Amino acid sequence: MIPLFEAYPRLQNSLPFISLGEFPTPVDHLENLGKKIRTPNLYIKRDDLSGVDYGGNKVRKLEFLLAEAIQKNAKEILTFGFAGSNHALATGVYAKKVGLHSTSILLSQPNARYVRRNLLLSYVNDIELHHFQSVPHCVLAIVGKMMQSFGRNKKLPHIIPPGGSNPLGAVGFVNAAFELKNQIEEGLIPEPDEIYVALGTMGTAVGLMIGVQTAGLKSRIIPVRVVDRSNASEKGLAKLYCSTAGLLHRLDPSFPLLAITPQEITIEHQYFGEQYAKFTGKGMAAVQVVQETEGISLEGTYTGKTFSALLDHASTQNFGQKTILFWDTYNSRDFSSKIQDIDYHLLPKEFHGYFESDFQPLDVNH
Ligand SMILES: *Cc1c(COP(=O)(O)O)cnc(C)c1O
């Protein structure tokens, strides 16, 4: 049974859930890097290994979101993201696994190696891809897609929001905090003082905040914003926090009714750089130091920027004996053998530009 259901058994009867990943994910001590930055109690939560078919933070959300789709007898999934979206890819990979067709409506973004990899992997996993330059174009495509799907199935497609971040998706990370609590009790990691996590569509950070509070952990969540301010704000975070906590309390009144105001939230805004998915010098330096000292591969859009906040704070605040946990949200499994023989011309032609134009500066090998 998953840790959240062990703590709140009534939720098991009311929340849709399907097991898709490999949990608990390991917690590792980053001894080499910890020594280097004078933070001996530096740890990493390996959600990069959360799934055999595709890892990263979206698997925990999909265990609830796809279970809901199955419960509602959905025939098709529709979701959204930027061209290199790990979320859209993870959704399609696991939708296929449970027998559902999925479509990704994707927006343009700065080019990077991982964009190519994710697009080719989407192709291999039979995900239907559409690319647009702007949100208004997407809206038209979404309406068209819904009508087409309705014509086929006499049923609208099941919509999963960008990043899988609605209250149900965020519950995946409430559960993750209870999983961490078990690992603390097993002596695998001291109770973290601070947990650094990337802040995109916010479901990950929100779920962890509610989870550590309810599980009685002292850990403070440090969300590091890696998307535009209009998509990740104190106000938006407070709203998702309250709606997620409200959902859990409604389904099991013994789950405490938590609430938070925007004024009580601190987001790290400084590490975003110029634009979503545009790599920063500090972010790429962080990717490099984690690779060199620990052999763990981060990337420039989410985890590198987040780790750069941790590194900055290590040098300015002096963590001393504090236990600092970095929550790794990026898939690290290598699927290159699956895509090495795929010709990008098989993708819709709107995507060919990513294979025919240069990578952005700073993209060395990530
Ligand atoms: C989606 C994603 C995030 C952001 O998580 P949110 O729940 O959307 O805030 C962080 N890291 C990676 C690698 C992701 O793909």
Distance 94 CA to ligand 1 centre (A): 17
Grouped pLDDT means (10 residues each) for the chain, 366 residues: 98 98 98 98 98 98 98 97 98 98 97 97 98 92 93 95 98 99 98 98 98 98 98 98 98 98 98 98 98 97 98 97 98 97 98 96 80
Reduced to 3 states (helix: H, G, I; strand: E, B; else coil), residue 247 is: helix
**pTM attached to this predicted model:** 0.98
| CA dist., res. 354 & res. 172, Å (int) | 32
Question: Which residue's CA is the closest to the ligand 1 atom numbered 5?
Answer: 200
Q: Is 362 left (phi over 0), alpha (psi -120 to 50) or beta?
A: left
| The predicted structure's pLDDT at residue 266 | 98
| The predicted structure's pLDDT at residue 195 | 99
* 330 Cβ inside 6 Å of ligand 1: yes
Q: Pick from 206, 329, 330 the residue to mutate for probing ligand 1's pocket: most ligand atoms within 8 Å of its CB.
A: 329
User: Of all atoms in ligand 1, which is nearest to the CA of residue 162?
Assistant: 8
Length of the chain measured in residues: 366
* 327 Cβ inside 6 Å of ligand 1: no
* 201 Cβ inside 6 Å of ligand 1: yes
Q: How do strand 128-132 and strand 101-107 relate by DSSP bridges?
A: parallel
Distance 226 CA to ligand 1 centre (A): 9
Distance 357 CA to ligand 1 centre (A): 26
Q: Say whether the peptide bond before residue 24 is cis (omega within 30 degrees of 0).
A: yes
With a CB cutoff of 8 Å and minimum separation 6, the contacts of 14 are: 251, 252
Distance 302 CA to ligand 1 centre (A): 7
Distance 153 CA to ligand 1 centre (A): 32
| CA dist., res. 74 & res. 66, Å (int) | 9
With a CB cutoff of 8 Å and minimum separation 6, the contacts of 80 are: 88, 104, 105, 106, 107, 138, 142, 161, 162
| The predicted structure's pLDDT at residue 274 | 97
Distance 106 CA to ligand 1 centre (A): 16
